[in-house]
Structure 1
Amino acid sequence: MIGRIEGVIVYKQAPDLLVDVQGVGYEIQLPMSCFFELPAVGQTVALWTHFVVREDAQLLFGFNTLNERALFRQLIKAQGVGPKMALAIMSGMSAGQFVASVQQGDVSTLVKIPGVGKKTAERLVIEMRDRLKDFGANAGFDPSSSDPEPALMVSVENPLDDALSALLALGYKPAQAEKAVKQVAKADMDSEAIIRQALKSMV
């Protein structure tokens, strides 16, 4: 089990990250909520990680805090929720917002996330409600308050293409992702700003 990674960022394009740890490059996927807080390429980063081994792949997922990793691990325990969907859920809303949606039985908000249909959303509410009963208090989340906006990093040569690629990687359909990007994109925005606004427009 790889539980924590600390090294230098070699490459980042949402939601993918490559971190050099003493000459070994680790490919890591992060939810957008974590990706937005990364330092620039060439700087050191420390991430809590969850390692997934499948027959066809070995995947590493990264998080800025133990609380975020804990929520990810709870999500993938739910029936029908794999790592990709868990990543999309944590990208489409903050941990606090997800906890609040589950506690309030807010299925309508959950179904806006790619891959989460009505049945999956209802199952998430039922399965996760008890698991997350004390999660907010233990994790320091306040579902009644909005999370602060993380600082954006300057990046990308083609912000529109990079934003679109990130949304597609998270599971959004091409037409849906393209429409959202075009609606929010402005000339002075970098890819991370476009991604953030696009996610907000769809959830």
Structure 2
Amino acid sequence: MIARLAGTLIETAADHAIVDVGGVGYLVQLSARTLDALGPAGGGVTLLTELQVREDGWMLFGFGTAGEREAFRALTGVQGVGGRVALAILGVLDPAELAAAVSRGDKAMVARANGVGPKLAQRIVNELAGKLGSPALAGTAGAPAPRGGAAHDALSALANLGFKPAEASAAVAAAVEELGDGAGLDALVRLALRKAAK
């Protein structure tokens, strides 16, 4: 099982990225939201992953946060929702928005994703009711992955200190929001540690 990739971003396309890890290029399927959060090609990138093995091949799906991966797992547990459809949903709704839509029974929000018709949206809402946690908790786990540069280094520093990916991502995202994109690494790490300790 491949659970995480950390390497160099080689290239991105409409629905995937190629990440070089020790000389091996992994093609990783990503949601539009996660693709947007990646830095430029040539930069370091860390992705949580989910490997799906089927008769016609193996597919590796990548996520910027633990919350996004958990939402993906829940979605693909619904009959008729494959990996690509789950990514399409997560490209339109972050985990907090998905949890909120499910808790309200709002199938129209889910149906905004490509490939999701009204019947499938209704099935998703029905089957995931009570399985995604509260929208507030999902929001913490679904904070956008920090982009490259100091934010990426701060995320790595928190991960090295033992913080879970979702906690580290949420804390660094909150620190970047408060300090701005031009903040230095030391300031980001200090503030992110304070945010994570709350």
- Using structure 1 for the length normalisation, give the TM-score: 0.67
2:49 is aligned to: 49
* Larger RCO, structures 1/2 (Cα 8 Å, 6+ apart): 1
Structure 1's 152 and 141: CA in aligned 2 closer, same or farther, altered over 3 A? closer
Do the aligned partners of residues 91 and 20 (structure 1) sit closer, same or farther apart at CA in structure 2, a change above 3 Å counting?
Answer: same
Structure 1: gaps (5+ residues): 143-147, 154-203
SS at match of 1:140: helix
Q: Which residue in the other structure is 2:93 paired with?
A: 93
Identity of aligned residues (%): 36
Counterpart of 2:2 in structure 1 is: 2
Report if the CA contact (8 A) 1:36-1:151 is conserved: no
For the pair 1:119 / 2:124, whether they are aligned, the reply is no
Is the helix fraction higher in 1 or 2? 2
- Partner amino acid for 1:92? V
> 2:152 corresponds to which residue?
none
Name the count of aligned residue pairs.
Answer: 148
- How has the CA–CA distance of structure 1 residues 149 and 80 changed in structure 2, closer, same or farther, with 3 Å as cutoff? closer
Q: Distance in 1 between matches of 2:63 and 2:112?
A: 23
Q: Does 1:18 pair with 2:18?
A: yes
TM-score (norm 2): 0.68
- Tell me how far apart the structure 1 counterparts of residues 7 and 116 of structure 2 sit (CA, whole Å): 34
AA of the residue aligned to 2:75: L
Asked if the contact 1:19–1:25 (Cα under 8 Å) also holds between the matched residues in 2, the reply is yes
Instruction: Give ranges in structure 2 of 5+ residues lacking alignment.
Output: 149-198
Letter of the 1:11 counterpart: E
One-letter code of the match for 1:34?
Answer: T
Q: 1:141 to 1:6 in 2, by over 3 A?
A: closer
